[in-house]
Chain A
Amino acid sequence: MKRHLISAADLTRDDAVLILDTAEEMARVADRPIKKLPTLRGRTVCNLFFEDSTRTRISFEAAEKRLSADVINFAAKGSSVSKGESLKDTAQTLEAMGVDAVVIRHGASGAPYRLANSGWIDAPVINAGDGTHQHPTQALLDAFTMRRRLIGPDAGLGEDLSGRRITVVGDVLHSRVARSNVDLLHTLGAEVTLVAPPTLVPVGVETWPCEVSYDLDRVLPKTDAVMMLRVQRERMNAAFFPTEREYSRRYGLDGERMARMPEHAIVMHPGPMVRGMEITAEVADSDRCTVIEQVTNGVSVRMAVLYLLLGGNEPAVTHTRTEGN
């Protein structure tokens, strides 16, 4: 694996499967009474959040703490950044304090890439979401969830997602989740179809390793997993689509549409969900919807990433696996 995790496109098939397999081992820690490993004891990880994101930050924090890392949470709001400090200076300050890894969320696409490649700091950088560019750990937790649901936790070890048909629906244009998923799912052998109104499909998408459709109903019967993306209501004002109701009618997932999917097919959402627009309550609360599992799996996957980037080459919890089984 590379030293940093900036983009899902940086991962080879073997890298990705290793992370997913390691995450399976990490998931077992969550089943223990004491959910903690000593792996990162004495290491300090900084969660550098320039953009609000309670879910992702807490998920990383939980993962870091379960690996016994010391955690520094840095939120840009109310910090030196709001006094005009640059990303470079902030990062260098943190490194001077002995930070061993930086988890960064930033509103600007490419900020984690710059942090990792500009010589500003030496510590590994993990991208926790940058602008409309990438959110690699989200893609990994999505793939992890698919593998568990579509193949099974134990049967899935060492496996990728070859031949699985995944549909990603909604605001692809502004979605780092969609970009990351297209890259990773393709690497893992899945067939991805993006479904969105033409206004929310990026220019140049024809070079991406996926299909594009404007017709959700036609795609759903051939789907193993459908991933609904959040649509921000303010997009309406920018004329990406006429009304919320029209969007829902054409691209929303309700019970009737869900019934067109194969029986084994699952419904995913990166959250937070806006019920009623892109997804109805009926679908969100159904057994096929994996939103809560995705949150749980997010911690395991982030533990795996932190472990592999910072922990070493030994199997993460081999000994406990023997005990557990």
Chain B
Amino acid sequence: MSKILIRGAKVLGGEAQDVLIDGETIEAVGAGLSAEGADVIEAEGKILLPGLVDLHTHLREPGREDSETVLTGTRAAASGGYTAVFAMANTFPVADTAGVVEQVYRLGQEHGYCDVQPIGAVTVGLEGSKLAELGAMHESAAGVTVFSDDGKCVHDAVIMRRALEYVKAFGGVIAQHAQEPRLTEGAQMNEGIVSAELGLGGWPAVAEESIIARDVLLAEHVGSRVHICHLSTAGSVEIVRWAKSRGIDVTAEVTPHHLLLTDEMVRSYNPVYKVNPPLRTERDVMALREALADGTIDIVATDHAPHPHEDKDCEWAAAAMGMVGLETALSVVQQTMVETGLLTWEAVADRMSYAPARIGQAKGHGRPVSAGEPANLTLLDSAYRGEVDPAGFASRSRNTPYEGRELPGRVTHTFLRGRATVVDGKLA
């Protein structure tokens, strides 16, 4: 593999430097580097970040290849600047055995656009009643470390307790989709002023907050580690903040769309805004941004949830929940967190690369941009402004709420272990 010289990029938004890649590794970082025969990428003014890591992606394979496959999903990830994604377990069949997680893992390796770390289901069939073979999934070639029934809440307190206790044996983490099922029966959007006007079933904030409160206490009780998926309310932030101040081993994520969009958008009855957990209020959005800035929320995770056109081109009640997010995440974070002065690029690197890699134990990812580290890198043209055109997405699905909306920033290059997966904004 030839050498690559990235010239003049602002590393983590700081001083302009050169970065020399040799093979799979960063050989040197500094001013005025040169290398004979190297491919040179002129990156003046661009931001160089460690390759992004998404702890929460739905790749849909096996079972819903009409929505996404490991190939199309990882191409979308690379386009968005990601070098590793954690694939959620709610596939068909459910990823609750070593066989299924190994299949997903190997597909990721074969396609080569980004590393795929499968997430294993906590319970058999995501049914919440019987623990899946967590140990077998961990010991498989996929080396599963994160377990989640995402899409469904592990609502039985005893099952949740046992799962938290069990994964301690191999340092795993339970990623909880916090949704009290009885409080959200028939729920279709955030419970509040807008749901009352639209006549749509309300999804109260307390349905999320009560589960988070219970789970941090369970994690404390058994001395284990819990990760809260896609926090969406100001109250959830308060609970996580309290838990951390108490020393409980809890981490939490927020999605880009919960940092930008509110339930006011649902007035259009356009199902692109139908998502789980639902879009909340302006007050919640502001609380989430502050919490991401002060570290109460550890990471940004996309909850990339692809669906075919027909599953969204229908009435609200019939529509599937979720939106794609891999290809727009960094732009939304730039708009909501960087351009508002809440996060530096260095902190973005933490929330979108270092911390998710640490929580998920993604080897070789989330490493500093320095000599000797794996060359997993993302180059961003942060000055770019343009309308989102889903027709250009690498994802198989187009269910984005940002169609036609102007978002800043564009990933021009992504490198996975020194190999360019994206060049000049196009998949290599």
Whether the Cβ atoms of B199 and A133 lie closer than 8 Å is: yes
Q: Which residues of A contact B388 (CB under 8 A)?
A: none
Indicate with 1 or 0, residue by residue over A196-227, a CB within 8 angstroms of chain B CB atoms.
00000011110110000000000000000000
Residues 73-118 (chain B) with a chain A CB within 8 angstroms: none
Whether the Cβ atoms of B316 and A110 lie closer than 8 Å is: yes
A153 at the interface (CB under 8 A from B): no
Whether the Cβ atoms of A110 and B196 lie closer than 8 Å is: no
Whether the Cβ atoms of A86 and B192 lie closer than 8 Å is: no
A176 at the interface (CB under 8 A from B): yes
Q: Which residues of B contact A117 (CB under 8 A)?
A: 268-269
Chain B, Cβ-Cβ closest to A174: B199
A294 at the interface (CB under 8 A from B): no
Whether the Cβ atoms of B314 and A114 lie closer than 8 Å is: yes
Q: Which of B194, B202, B315 is A106 in contact with, Cβ under 8 Å?
A: B315
Whether the Cβ atoms of A133 and B198 lie closer than 8 Å is: yes
Whether the Cβ atoms of A108 and B318 lie closer than 8 Å is: yes
Indicate with 1 or 0, residue by residue over A178-205, a CB within 8 angstroms of chain B CB atoms.
0100000000000000000000001111
Q: Which residues of B contact A207 (CB under 8 A)?
A: 193
Q: Size band of the A side of the interface?
A: 20 to 34
Indicate with 1 or 0, residue by residue over B173-191, a CB within 8 angstroms of chain A CB atoms.
0000000000000001001
Q: Which of B191, B193, B268, B315 is A111 in contact with, Cβ under 8 Å?
A: B315
Q: Which residues of A contact B198 (CB under 8 A)?
A: 109-110, 133
Q: Which residues of A contact B199 (CB under 8 A)?
A: 109-110, 130-134, 176, 179
Complex formed: what's the CA distance from A64 to B62 in Å?
Answer: 52
Whether the Cβ atoms of A203 and B195 lie closer than 8 Å is: yes
Whether the Cβ atoms of A110 and B193 lie closer than 8 Å is: no
Whether the Cβ atoms of A204 and B315 lie closer than 8 Å is: no
Whether the Cβ atoms of B317 and A110 lie closer than 8 Å is: yes
Q: Which residues of B contact A109 (CB under 8 A)?
A: 188, 198-200, 269, 316-317
B127 at the interface (CB under 8 A from A): no
Give the shortest distance, in Å, between A133 (CB) and chain B (any CB).
3
Chain B, Cβ-Cβ closest to A133: B199
Residues 113-132 (chain A) with a chain B CB within 8 angstroms: 113-115, 117-118, 130-132
B313 at the interface (CB under 8 A from A): yes
Whether the Cβ atoms of A203 and B315 lie closer than 8 Å is: no
Complex formed: what's the CA distance from A48 to B24 in Å?
Answer: 62
Whether the Cβ atoms of A111 and B317 lie closer than 8 Å is: yes
Complex formed: what's the CA distance from A63 to B202 in Å?
Answer: 36
Q: Which residues of B contact A205 (CB under 8 A)?
A: 196
Whether the Cβ atoms of B314 and A110 lie closer than 8 Å is: no
B36 at the interface (CB under 8 A from A): no
Give the shortest distance, in Å, between B275 (CB) and chain A (any CB).
16
A88 at the interface (CB under 8 A from B): yes
Q: Which residues of A contact B268 (CB under 8 A)?
A: 117
Chain B, Cβ-Cβ closest to A118: B313
Tally of B interface residues using CB under 8 Å: 23
Residues 125-169 (chain B) with a chain A CB within 8 angstroms: none
Whether the Cβ atoms of A203 and B314 lie closer than 8 Å is: no
Whether the Cβ atoms of A87 and B318 lie closer than 8 Å is: yes
Given known A87-B314, A203-B195, A207-B193, contact A114–B200 (CB-CB < 8 A): no
Whether the Cβ atoms of A114 and B269 lie closer than 8 Å is: yes
Complex formed: what's the CA distance from A132 to B195 in Å?
Answer: 10
Q: Which residues of B contact A130 (CB under 8 A)?
A: 199
Complex formed: what's the CA distance from A109 to B317 in Å?
Answer: 7
Whether the Cβ atoms of A203 and B318 lie closer than 8 Å is: no
Q: Which of B193, B195, B270, B314 is A88 in contact with, Cβ under 8 Å?
A: B314
Complex formed: what's the CA distance from A126 to B305 in Å?
Answer: 34
Q: Which residues of B contact A202 (CB under 8 A)?
A: 195-196, 202
Given known A108-B315, A111-B317, contact A86–B310 (CB-CB < 8 A): yes
Complex formed: what's the CA distance from A179 to B202 in Å?
Answer: 16
Q: Which residues of B contact A132 (CB under 8 A)?
A: 199-200
Whether the Cβ atoms of A204 and B316 lie closer than 8 Å is: no
Q: Which residues of B contact A131 (CB under 8 A)?
A: 199-200, 317
Q: Which residues of A contact B318 (CB under 8 A)?
A: 86-87, 108
Give the shortest distance, in Å, between A53 (CB) and chain B (any CB).
16
Chain B, Cβ-Cβ closest to A106: B315
Chain A, Cβ-Cβ closest to B310: A86
Give the shortest distance, in Å, between B391 (CB) and chain A (any CB).
17
Give the shortest distance, in Å, between A317 (CB) and chain B (any CB).
35
Complex formed: what's the CA distance from A96 to B240 in Å?
Answer: 55
Whether the Cβ atoms of A204 and B195 lie closer than 8 Å is: yes
- Chain B residues proximal to chain A, CB less than 8 Å: 188, 191-200, 202, 204, 268-270, 310, 313-318
The 6 closest A-B pairs by CB, nearest first: A133-B199, A108-B317, A204-B193, A110-B269, A202-B196, A132-B199
29 contacts between A and B (CB under 8 A): A88-B313, A88-B314, A106-B315, A107-B317, A108-B317, A108-B318, A109-B188, A109-B200, A110-B200, A110-B269, A110-B316, A111-B315, A111-B317, A113-B269, A114-B270, A114-B314, A115-B315, A117-B269, A130-B199, A131-B199, A131-B317, A133-B199, A176-B199, A202-B195, A202-B196, A203-B193, A203-B195, A204-B194, A207-B193
Given contacts A88-B314, A133-B199, A134-B199, 15 further A-B contacts (CB under 8 A): A106-B315, A108-B315, A109-B199, A109-B269, A110-B198, A110-B200, A110-B269, A111-B315, A111-B316, A111-B317, A114-B269, A117-B269, A202-B202, A203-B191, A208-B197
